[in-house]
């Protein structure tokens, strides 16, 4: 049974090529496309004073590497125009009395205007800006104290010593790519399986099979075994490219990875099989299937939007989005080097899923026999 399926797949090299290349293509697309790292925030500067000191602070923004000056403006209203046209995300407004204030009182105001449409970018850019200003302030305070003979505040400052674990460089790619692998395997795997099996329905060979004394379970396993192998190869491709191409650190054990990937593959194929059996019987169900699979996998699996930040009912819904378990697992294996015992929670979720899906798939098929 599985042997026959293998033969069919081999006779159809185009499908095989698609099955193997598609995940890599999606990987390249999503691996590069999904990034939150904002390196050079386009910045407009409206410097009303244009003094040595104001230029110095602007230079500090540039030399930080986080900002690139896109325009120097002459009017307040130009900021609005530049932002409307999307030419800058942030604008720095330095008042006309900037250096005078600084010289007489030791403090001065400076405005940072953000196009806050994209809140995440705004938050990150604001963080960068505060960093630049804090650095500048340290120098200004030291100079002020020295020239005015003021002793440092009697209360000590706190030195923050942040240490980042697991993803030391805070590179969003390290966080997103393992999730991308999970999402691709979920989408492509289910897709290919459902497609190839539905083709069998169309050609009528499935009816032929039903009429033989092969049991529903045998049919199911026979059908799925070769796709299972392809799924594992796909997973191998994606995981290797994550490490070798995108340079994601891999700290876990291959065994853990293999065991979890196998389990996930079972769920994915089961879903694909279920779709193929169901869709055949219901026109229009495919539309719903599309709507209910793609967006949830992207939005509710936690691969971009952290699940723990969602409202409780949405978190509950995300429990049925099976890729979420694998996203968690892959991330933990890659970045934390977790073993099976650390991962018991998502593993239990995935196992429950596997059991339910296989049961449903076997049942759905038997119904078609009637």
Partner 1 sequence: MFERLSVMLMKEFLELKRDRWAMFRLIVPLIIQMLVFGYAATFTVHHVATSILDLDQSQASRSLISHFVATSRFNVVDVTQNRDDITRDIDQSTATIAIVIHAGFGRTLGNGQSAPLQVIVDGTNSNTALIALGYLSQIVAQFSEDQSSRAANFRADTAVPEIGISLQARPWFNEGLDDRWFFIPGVIGTLTLLQVVSLTAFAIVREREVGTLEQIMVSPIRPVEFILGKTVPFFLIGLGDIALVSAFGIFWFHISFIGNPWIMLLGASLFLLAALGIGLLLSTFSRTQQQAFALNFFFVNPLFILSGFAFPIAAMPKLLQWFTVINPLRYFLVVIRAVFLKGVGFEVLWPDLAAMALLALVMLTVSVLRFRKSLD
The residues in 217-246 that bind partner 1, with binding defined as CB under 8 A, are: none
Q: How far is the CB of 246 from partner 1 (least distance, A)?
A: 12
Q: Which stretch binds partner 1 (CB under 8 A): 110-118, 207-215, 218-226, 347-355?
A: 110-118
In whole angstroms, give the CA distance from residue 317 to residue 324.
11
- Give whichever of 165 and 211 is closer to partner 1, judged by the CB atom: 165
| x/- map, 272-311, partner 1, by CB under 8 A | -------x---xx-xxxxxxx-xxx-xxx---xxx-xxxx
Nearest alpha-carbon partner for 264 in 333, 210, 195, 176: 333
List beta partners, residue 90. Answer: 43, 114
Residues 30-49 that bind partner 1 (CB under 8 A): 30, 32-39, 42
Q: Which stretch binds partner 1 (CB under 8 A): 109-117, 205-213, 258-266, 348-356?
A: 109-117
In whole angstroms, give the CA distance from residue 23 to residue 26.
5
- Give whichever of 35 and 351 is closer to partner 1, judged by the CB atom: 35
Residue whose tokens read 């994601």 = 248
- Give whichever of 253 and 304 is closer to partner 1, judged by the CB atom: 304
347 binds partner 1 (CB under 8 A): no
Q: How many CB atoms lie within 10 A of CB 263?
A: 18
Residues 141-200 that bind partner 1 (CB under 8 A): 141, 144-145, 150, 152-172, 174-175, 187, 191, 194-195, 198-199
In whole angstroms, give the CA distance from residue 164 to residue 178.
19
Contact pick of 52, 84, 204, 211 for partner 1 (by CB under 8 A) = 84
Nearest alpha-carbon partner for 5 in 195, 163, 223, 181: 223
How many residues touch partner 1 under the rule CB under 8 A: the total is 115
Sign of CA dihedral 42, 56, 107, 133: positive
Q: How far is the CB of 215 from partner 1 (least distance, A)?
A: 26
| Cβ(329)–Cβ(260) below 8 Å | yes
Sign of CA dihedral 66, 26, 277, 259: negative
Contact pick of 124, 210, 216, 319 for partner 1 (by CB under 8 A) = 124
Contact pick of 44, 45, 88, 129 for partner 1 (by CB under 8 A) = 129
In whole angstroms, give the CA distance from residue 151 to residue 142.
10
List beta partners, residue 317. Answer: none
Q: How far is the CB of 23 from partner 1 (least distance, A)?
A: 11
- Give whichever of 135 and 212 is closer to partner 1, judged by the CB atom: 135
CA dihedral 302, 306, 310, 312 (to 10 degrees): 70
């Amino acid at each position: 049974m599985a042997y026959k399926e293998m033969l069919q797949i081999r006779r159809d090299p185009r499908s095989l090529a698609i099955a193997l290349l598609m995940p890599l293509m999606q990987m390249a697309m999503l691996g590069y496309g999904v990034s939150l790292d904002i390196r050079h925030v386009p910045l407009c500067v409206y410097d009303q004073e244009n003094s040595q000191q104001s230029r110095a602070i602007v230079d500090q923004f540039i030399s930080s590497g986080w900002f690139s000056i896109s325009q120097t403006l002459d009017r307040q209203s130009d900021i609005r125009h530049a932002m409307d046209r999307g030419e800058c995300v942030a604008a720095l407004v330095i008042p006309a009395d900037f250096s005078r204030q600084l010289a007489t009182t030791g403090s001065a105001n400076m405005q940072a205007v953000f196009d806050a449409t994209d809140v995440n970018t705004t938050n990150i850019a604001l963080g960068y800006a505060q960093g630049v200003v804090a650095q500048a302030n340290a120098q200004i305070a030291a100079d002020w104290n020295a020239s005015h003979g003021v002793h440092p505040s009697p209360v000590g400052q706190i030195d923050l010593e942040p240490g980042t674990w697991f993803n030391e460089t805070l590179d969003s790619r390290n966080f997103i790519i393992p999730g991308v692998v999970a999402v691709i395997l979920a989408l492509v795997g289910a897709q290919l399986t459902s497609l190839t099996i539905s083709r069998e329905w169309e050609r009528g060979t499935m009816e032929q099979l039903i009429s033989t004394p092969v049991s529903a379970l045998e049919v199911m396993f026979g059908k799925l075994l070769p796709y299972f192998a392809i799924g594992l190869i796909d997973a191998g491709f994606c995981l290797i490219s994550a490490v070798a191409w995108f340079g994601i650190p891999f700290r876990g054990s291959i065994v853990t990875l293999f065991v979890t990937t196998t389990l996930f593959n079972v769920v994915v194929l089961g879903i694909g099989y279920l779709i193929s059996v169901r869709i055949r019987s219901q026109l229009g169900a495919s539309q719903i299937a599309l709507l209910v699979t793609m967006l949830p996998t992207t939005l509710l699996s936690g691969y971009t939007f952290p699940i723990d930040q969602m409202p409780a009912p949405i978190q509950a819904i995300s429990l049925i989005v099976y890729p979420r378990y694998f996203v968690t697992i892959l991330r933990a294996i890659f970045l934390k080097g977790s073993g099976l015992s650390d991962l018991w929670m998502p593993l239990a979720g995935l196992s429950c899923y596997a059991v339910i899906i296989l049961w449903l798939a076997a049942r759905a098929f038997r119904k078609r026999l009637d």
